[in-house]
Structure 1
Amino acid sequence: MNELKPATRYTSTSLHEAVKLRLDEPGSFSQGVVPQNIPQFFAEVCEKYPELPALVWETPGAGVDGWTTLNYRGYQEKVEQAALMLLSVGLEERSSVGILAFNCPEWFFAQFGCLRAGAVVAGIYPSNSAEAVYHVLATGESTVCVVDDAQQMAKLRAIKDRLPRLKAVIQLHGPFETFVDQEPGYFSWQKLQEITFCNELKEELKAREGRVYANECAMLIFTSGTVGLPKAVMLTHDNIIFDTKAAAACLKDVQIGKESFVSYLPLSHVAAQIFDIFLGLSHAGCVTFADKDALKGTLIKTFRKARPTKMFGVPRVFEKLQERLVAAEAKAKPYSRLILAQARAAVAEHQTTLIEGKKPSIYGSAKYWLASRIIKPIREMIGLDNCRIFLTGGAPTSDEMKQFFLGLDIALGECYGMSESGGAITLNVNINNLYSAGTSIEGLTLKIQDPDSNGQGEILMRGRSMFMGYLGLQEKTEEAIKEDGWLHSGDLGYIDPKGNLVISGRLKELIITAGGENIPPVHIEELIKKELPCVSNVLLVGDHRKYLTVLLSLKTKSDAKTGIPLDALREETVEWLRDLDIHETRLSSLLSIPSDLQLPNDAAAVAAALDITAEPKLLEALEEGIKRANKNAISNAQRVQKFALIPHEFSLATGELGPTLKIRRNIVHAKYAKVIERLYK
C-alpha cells in the first residue's frame, strides 16, 4: 500500500487536512484496490500505453481532416508542461486551480498538472456569473484560475481585485485583449507553453509530487443547488480512483485500448469527471472533444468522428437526439415512415424480450434481423453504431423516451450518483428492466432509511468513494455523512427484490399538501408527460396547498446558438395538434401571445403567461390527458386539479434549468408566482 498522510478522522472540511480511508469496507473488491494518488494512476496508464491515441480534438487546418490526435506519451508530456506552467505563475501547494472553460484538451492538461503540483482542481460552469465565479475561487482558496476565452476573462477582470490570493489568470483561447501577457498576473496558455523551464522548477515539481497523498483532497465539485450558495464537495484522490475502478468493474465487454468516448458534458460536474476523464483513462481509451455548441446541435458531428463505444448523457441530451430524428422522419415519404415504424416496433419487441429474460422465437429473431438492417443506418447517421453501452442519469428519463430508443436498438440504462459519493452509485448495465437505476457498483453498500409500507425511504450509501466533507462547512458535513460512514443522499427510493434501486424523488422536493400528505412530484409529472406527447415540461405545484396544480410548456424548437426557445412548434407537437384539427405551427398563434416575445426576459414571459388565450380544443385535450394521468394516481390527494400553460420551454438560457439541465424548481415557482396564485383562486 502506498504511504498515506497521517489522519485522525474520516471527514474533514479543510484543504490542508487528510482523512482516514475506509479500507475495512466489506467485500474482496474494496480490499483489492490499493490506495494511490491520481498522478500515480495517470502515469501508470501513460507509461503502459504510450502509443495509443488518448485525446482527439478539432483543429481547423490541422492534419488531413482538421482533427488533431495526441497519444498517451504526448498526453503525459503536455501534463508535465502544464504543471511547470502552473508552478511558474505562483500556484501554491494545497490551494486550488479554478478552471472556467468548456471541455478541451487544456482542461485535462490543467487538471492533471494541478494535481501533480500538489494543488486541488475546482471546475467552474462556463455559464456561471462573475459573482458565482468569485464564490468558487474564494471558497476554494484559488491561487490560479484558467479561463477559456475573452468572455470568461472579463468575469475575472471584474472580480480579481477582491481575490487577494489569486496570483494568476491564464487564458486558453483567443482573441486576447492587450493586457494578457502584458499586465502582471495575466497570461496566455500558448506563451507559457513555449517556455523551456529550468531544472530548479522541475525539481520543485518532483518534490511537490512526492508530497501528494491518496487521502488528501484532489477535487472540489460545487453543488448546483437552487437555494443558497453552492457547497464545495471535497473528494480525495482515493475517492475518485476507487469510484472509477468500481464503476469500470461493472462494465461488460471492455476492450482496453479500443474504447472511445466523447467529452461534452460540463467537466465541473462529477459525472463528466468520472466518465470522460477517469473511465477513459482506466480503459486506455480515446476521448474526442465536442465543440461549445454540442448541446445546441453539433454533438452528432463529433459522434460521427469519434464513433463512441460508451455514452453517458442526461435525459435532455437523448431528448435532443430524439427531436432531431423525429424531425428527419417527418420529412420522409409516407411509405418510408410506415416501414421505419414497423422496423422500430420489431426491434423494440426483440429488445423487450431480451430484457425480460426470455428467449426470442425463431420468427422473432428473423423479424429482428431484418428490422435491425433498416434501423442500422439511423444509428450510423448519428454516429452511435459502435456504441455498446448507453447510460443516462441526473434526472428522470421518461418511459416514452426509453421506448423510442429501444426501437433504435438502444437500451438506455439509468444510473444514479452524487457529487458526495464520488460519482456513480448504481449502474443499470446488465439491463433486466427499464424502471430502475440498476444495482450498486462494486465495493458500495446501499440501504433504505426508515422505509414505509411500500419499502420507500431515504437512500443511504457507504463505501470508500464517499466524500471528505463540504469545504469550510462542518455542520453541513455532519448532516450529510455520519460517523458510521453512511451518507444520507436526500433522495427517496426503494430496492426491488432483485437488488435494483428505484428512485422516486428528492426529500427536499417533496410536496407536503395542506392535508399533510407527502407527494414526490417527479412520478406525477412523468405520468402527465406520458399522456401528453406535445408537452415538454411539467412542473407540479401544491406545497402547503389544498390541491395540486401543474405548469405546462409545449414543445418548441430552440435557437441552435443561444439555446433560447423559439416560436416554431416541434414536428411532434404540430402532428399532435393536427389530430385535434388545429393547424397552427407557431406557439404565438396557438396561445395568442406576442410572436416577438423577448427571451430571456422574466417580466415579458410572465406577462405573456397571464395573457394566454388558447383554443378551447387544446385546453380540453390537455385536461383530458391530465385526467388520464390522474387514473394512475396513488391517492386522491395526488390527483392534479388545475393546470396553466406557460409561454416557453424551460432552458439554460432562460434560467429554469441548471448547468446539469435539472429543473430549478424554486426559480420556476418564483418566476411564475402570479400564474400559480391564479390557479388557487
Structure 2
Amino acid sequence: MTSSEISSQARSSNIQHKTEEKLCDSSERSCLGLMTDFIKKGEEQVMDNSAADNGLKEVLTDVALAPAQSLWTTDASGAVLLRIDELCPQKPITVHQMFMNSVQKYGNLYALATKRNDKWEKITFSEYYHYCRMAAKSFLKIGLERFHSVAILGFNSAEWFFSAVGAVFAGGITTGVYATNSPEACLYVAHDSRANIIVVENQKQLDKILEIKHKLPYLKAIVQYSGSVQKELPGLYSWEEFMTLGQDISDKTLDDIISSQNANQCCVLIYTSGTTGMPKGVMLSHDNITWTAQHASRAGDMQPAEIKQESIVSYLPLSHIAAQIYDLWTGIQWGELVSFAQPDALKGTLIGTLKEVTPSSHMGVPRVWEKIMGKLKEELSHCAYIKKKLLTYAMSICLEANQKSTNDEEKSFLFTLANSLVLEKVRTELGFSCCEKYFSGSAPIGSDTTEFFLGLNIRLYEAYGLSESSGPHFMSGPKTYKRTSCGKVVPGCRYKLVNVGADGTGEVCFWGRNVFMGYLNLKDKTLEALDEYGWLRSGDLGKADEDDFLYITGRIKELIITAGGENVPPVPIEDAVKKELPIISNAMLIGDKRKFLAILLTLTCVTNAETMEPTDDLSPDAVEYCKQLGSQATKVSDVTGGKDKVLNQAIEEGIAQVNANATSNAQRIQKWTIIAKDFSVTGGELGPTMKLCRPFVLKKYHDEIEQFYKE
C-alpha cells in the first residue's frame, strides 16, 4: 500500500472523527450534513488542510494496511479504515509485530507457567514465540486456509495460547469456544467461522465435536491438547503429534504469510454469549488487539516488564474478550508472567493457585468476587467469638476509612494498625499478599460486594466495555477510581451519551481504535451496532459526573416498560433487593407490559463442587442469617411456598424498605416469590460469563410469573 493511500485513509478517518466529535454538542447537529459532503466529494478536497494530517503522514510511514473503503465489514477477508486521529496517532501493528517487539525486550523472561505433577514448569518469551511458530507451521501443514478459523474448545492452558497465536501467525482467525457449550452451540460457532481446525482440551470436549463433525464442511482436523487420544481417527491428532507435523514447512513460507498480514484485517473472532439472541461473531483486527493490549492496560496501570514484571493467574474463559485481552494479548504486550490455574479453578482450587503464584494483579467477573466473599463469610461464621469480633471490627474501620478517602497516607493510625495486623493476613490467605490491582469486569458488580472488599482494603477497579470494543473502553485504576463508577474513558478513545433524559442518563456510544470491524456475515446486525459515522452503540444506559466518571445504570434491551408506559431499569432495583436481603443470591424483576412489578428471588445455597449445580442446602451464611431471625431453615425447600413465616416476613420487610426508596409508585415491587433452585450456568439462567439470561428465565419460569398477574 502506498504512503498516499495510507495518508488518504488517515484523512478519511480524521475528517470523520473530527466532524463526529461535534455531535457531542446538540447545538452543532448541522455538521451531520457537512460530514456527508466530505465523504461524497472525496478526501482529496481537504488534502493538506491541517497540520495534524501532516503529522499523521509521518506516523503512518511503512505501516501495513490493506486498502479499505469503510469503517466496517462483515467479510472475514475484508479490511477496514482505522480510527486514527490527532488524539490516537499510534502506529498500527500486527500481532506478530507486537510479539516480536516483546521477544526483543523480554526474550529471556519467563512468560508462561503450568503446574504439572505438583511442579511449576515455566517457559520464556523466546520459547513461547518458538512454540507459536511451530503451531503455525502445523496448522498450515494440515490445511488451514487464509481467513478460516482455528476454533479452540477447552480450559486455559499454554496450548490454548500457542494455538491462538499460531493460528494468527498462519493467516487464520483465532476463535474461542466456551467449554460449557453444548454440541449444538459448538456447531454454530465452528460452522459460522468456517473452522478448518478445532483444538479441543480432552475427551469430553472431543466427544462434542465428533457428534457434530459430519455437519462441518470446512473441518480438516481436530487436535487434542490434554490427555491421551483414546481412539485413533482420521484427522485426529494428539498435541505431541500435531506439533511435529509442520517440520517440513520452511521458515520462509511462514514468514511470507506473516509479512502479508495487515493491521486492519481480522485476526480474532469473539462470539457473544447469546444471552439476547443467537451468538454473533465479533470481528477484531490486528489493530484492535494490539492497540487495546497496549493502551487499555496502561489505563489500568499495568506495568511493562522493564519496570516491573506483572504476574497474573489465567482462569476465566478465554473465549470471552475480557480474559483474552487481559491474559493473552496484554501478557505478550507487557512481558507478563501468566500462570495457568487448574481446570477446576471455579470449583474451589483457584485460591490455592493464587496462594502459590501470589499475582501482582487479578481480575474476576462479579460472580467470582461474590464467591470469594461468600467463602470468607462462611469461614468467618465458624471463627471463635473473639477472632470474629476482631476481624469484623478491623473491616469496619477499613471500610469507613476507604469510603472517606482513597489515599492511604491520609488515613488514621487505627486504620494502619487494623490493615497491617489483621487484614493483611486475610489477604495473604486469599493469595493476594503481593497483589496491587484488583479488577472486575463483564457485568456490573453489586455495591455490597465492593463494600465488603473495601473492608479488606481491596479496591475493585471496574472496567466497562463490550466484545465489540475489544474489551475495556472505560477503566478504573489506582489513579482513576470512584466507588460504583466504571472509571474514565481509555485515553485515545472517546464516548458520548445519546438520547439523554432529564436525569442525564443516555445510551453510551463508543469511538476508538478498539471498535470492532463488524459482525461476521451479519450486515444488518453490524449496521444496528454502528451508526452511519462509525460510533458503536453500546445498548447500555449510563450517566457521567462532573469529573467525567461513567456510571452504568442499565441496559436498553433490559428496560422494563410497564403497561402504564413507565420506563423501569431493573438492575438498580434488583441490586437494592440483594443489598437489603443478604440471603438473596439472584433477583430478576418482572413487569414488561404488565400492570405492576414483581420479582423472582433465589436464595444463596451450597453448590456441588463437581457439577457446579446449586443444591437444596442453604449456604452457611444463609443459615446464620435465618438463625438471627429466629428461623430454623437449613434448606431452600424449608422456605419455598411460604413455609417459613419468619423468613417470609423478613423478605417482605426488606422489599418494603426498597419500595420506600422507589422514585415512583410504578417502580415499587408488588409481589415476589422464591424459586426452588438458584440460577446457574447449568440451569441455563446464567450465561458463560455469569450474566443473567433474562429471555430464558422468562420462558423457564413462565408459570410462576403468570401467577403474579392472576386476578
Measured after TM superposition, the shift of residue 581 of structure 1 is 0.8
Deviations 1:200-246 (A, max 9, x none): 44332122111111000011111112343211010100011111222
Deviations 1:36-77 (A, max 9, x none): 1001101211232111110011111xxxx5221111111111
Match of 1:427 in 2: 475
Equivalent position SS for 2:278:
coil
Q: Give the whole-Å Cα distance in 2 for the aligned partners of 1:214 and 1:202.
A: 21
Measured after TM superposition, the shift of residue 640 of structure 1 is 0.3
Question: Which of 185, 189, 194 is the equivalent residue of 2:239?
Answer: 189
Match of 2:566 in 1: 517
Measured after TM superposition, the shift of residue 546 of structure 1 is 0.2
1:617-632 aligned at under 5 Å gives the runs: 617-632=646-661
Match of 2:425 in 1: 377
Q: Give the whole-Å Cα distance in 2 for the aligned partners of 1:437 and 1:161.
A: 45
Contact preservation (8 Å) 2:143, 2:196: yes
Q: Give the whole-Å Cα distance in 2 for the aligned partners of 1:567 and 1:140.
A: 40
Residues 552 and 66 of structure 1: CA distance in aligned 2, closer, same or farther (over 3 Å): same
Match of 1:93 in 2: 146
Q: Give the whole-Å Cα distance in 2 for the aligned partners of 1:354 and 1:624.
A: 33
Single out whichever of 518-527 and 566-575 deviates more from structure 2: 566-575
1:460-539 aligned at under 5 Å gives the runs: 460-539=509-588
Structure 1 residue 160 corresponds to structure 2 residue 213: yes
Measured after TM superposition, the shift of residue 585 of structure 1 is 1.8
Runs of 4+ in 1 over 4 A off after TM superposition: none
Equivalent position SS for 1:136:
helix
Which blocks of at least 5 consecutive residues in structure 1 are unaligned?
A: 592-611
Match of 1:605 in 2: none
Match of 2:166 in 1: 113
Match of 1:353 in 2: 404
Deviations 1:546-603 (A, max 9, x none): 0000011111110111110112211221121112211222223333xxxxxxxxxxxx
Question: Which of 96, 106, 111 is the equivalent residue of 1:49?
Answer: 106
Structure 1 residue 637 corresponds to structure 2 residue 666: yes
Q: Which amino acid aligns with 1:440?
A: V
Q: Give the whole-Å Cα distance in 2 for the aligned partners of 1:644 and 1:586.
A: 16
Normalising by structure 1, report the TM-score. Answer: 0.93
Contact preservation (8 Å) 2:469, 2:516: yes
Q: Give the whole-Å Cα distance in 1 for the aligned partners of 2:481 and 2:266.
A: 37
Match of 2:596 in 1: 547
Match of 2:84 in 1: 23
Match of 2:136 in 1: 83
Q: Give the whole-Å Cα distance in 2 for the aligned partners of 1:186 and 1:280.
A: 30
Equivalent position SS for 2:458:
coil
Residues 202 and 367 of structure 1: CA distance in aligned 2, closer, same or farther (over 3 Å): closer
Equivalent position SS for 1:650:
coil
Deviations 1:116-159 (A, max 9, x none): 11111111001111111111111111111111111111111111
Deviations 1:582-632 (A, max 9, x none): 1222223333xxxxxxxxxxxxxxxxxxxx342222111101100001111
Contact preservation (8 Å) 2:141, 2:245: no
Structure 1 residue 139 corresponds to structure 2 residue 201: no
Equivalent position SS for 1:508:
helix
Contact preservation (8 Å) 1:350, 1:368: no
Question: Which of 159, 167, 174 is the equivalent residue of 2:227?
Answer: 174
Measured after TM superposition, the shift of residue 171 of structure 1 is 1.0
Q: Give the whole-Å Cα distance in 2 for the aligned partners of 1:366 and 1:677.
A: 54
Match of 1:657 in 2: 686
Match of 1:608 in 2: none
Question: Which of 318, 335, 357 is the equivalent residue of 2:386?
Answer: 335
Contact preservation (8 Å) 2:482, 2:549: no
Q: Give the whole-Å Cα distance in 2 for the aligned partners of 1:208 and 1:622.
A: 63
Contact preservation (8 Å) 1:511, 1:518: yes
Match of 1:595 in 2: none
Q: Which amino acid aligns with 1:53?
A: Y
Contact preservation (8 Å) 2:154, 2:179: yes
Measured after TM superposition, the shift of residue 178 of structure 1 is 1.5
Contact preservation (8 Å) 1:274, 1:423: yes
Contact preservation (8 Å) 2:140, 2:246: no
- Structure number with higher helix proportion: 2
Q: Which amino acid aligns with 1:569?
A: L
Q: Which amino acid aligns with 1:52?
A: L
Deviations 1:493-539 (A, max 9, x none): 11111101110111000001000111110000011111101110111
Match of 1:312 in 2: 363
Deviations 1:279-332 (A, max 9, x none): 222221100111111111111011112211111111100011111111111111
Residues 414 and 253 of structure 1: CA distance in aligned 2, closer, same or farther (over 3 Å): closer
Q: Give the whole-Å Cα distance in 1 for the aligned partners of 2:662 and 2:426.
A: 37
Measured after TM superposition, the shift of residue 255 of structure 1 is 5.3
Q: Give the whole-Å Cα distance in 1 for the aligned partners of 2:110 and 2:383.
A: 39
Contact preservation (8 Å) 2:64, 2:261: no
Q: Give the whole-Å Cα distance in 1 for the aligned partners of 2:408 and 2:247.
A: 63
Q: Give the whole-Å Cα distance in 1 for the aligned partners of 2:235 and 2:245.
A: 17
Measured after TM superposition, the shift of residue 88 of structure 1 is 1.3
Q: Give the whole-Å Cα distance in 2 for the aligned partners of 1:669 and 1:366.
A: 50
Q: Give the whole-Å Cα distance in 2 for the aligned partners of 1:648 and 1:14.
A: 43
Equivalent position SS for 1:48:
helix
Question: Which of 267, 278, 282 is the equivalent residue of 2:318?
Answer: 267
Contact preservation (8 Å) 1:142, 1:165: yes
Match of 2:33 in 1: none
Equivalent position SS for 2:113:
strand
Contact preservation (8 Å) 1:350, 1:360: no
1:552-567 aligned at under 5 Å gives the runs: 552-567=601-616
Match of 2:459 in 1: 411
Measured after TM superposition, the shift of residue 248 of structure 1 is 2.5
Measured after TM superposition, the shift of residue 432 of structure 1 is 4.1
Measured after TM superposition, the shift of residue 433 of structure 1 is 2.1
Deviations 1:165-201 (A, max 9, x none): 111111111242222xxx3221111112245712x44
Residues 68 and 253 of structure 1: CA distance in aligned 2, closer, same or farther (over 3 Å): closer
Q: Give the whole-Å Cα distance in 2 for the aligned partners of 1:237 and 1:139.
A: 20
Q: Which amino acid aligns with 1:341?
A: T
Match of 1:607 in 2: none
Question: Which of 106, 119, 122 is the equivalent residue of 1:69?
Answer: 122
- Give me the CA root mean square deviation: 1.5
Match of 2:39 in 1: none
Q: Which amino acid aligns with 1:69?
A: K
Single out whichever of 251-260 and 226-235 deviates more from structure 2: 251-260
Match of 1:230 in 2: 279
Contact preservation (8 Å) 1:104, 1:289: yes
Equivalent position SS for 1:234:
strand
Single out whichever of 628-637 and 241-250 deviates more from structure 2: 241-250
Q: Give the whole-Å Cα distance in 1 for the aligned partners of 2:161 and 2:474.
A: 26
Equivalent position SS for 1:340:
helix
Match of 1:10 in 2: 71
Match of 2:257 in 1: 208
Q: Which amino acid aligns with 1:657?
A: L
Residues 379 and 359 of structure 1: CA distance in aligned 2, closer, same or farther (over 3 Å): closer
Contact preservation (8 Å) 2:312, 2:337: yes
Equivalent position SS for 2:313:
strand
Q: Give the whole-Å Cα distance in 2 for the aligned partners of 1:553 and 1:277.
A: 35
Contact preservation (8 Å) 1:221, 1:419: yes
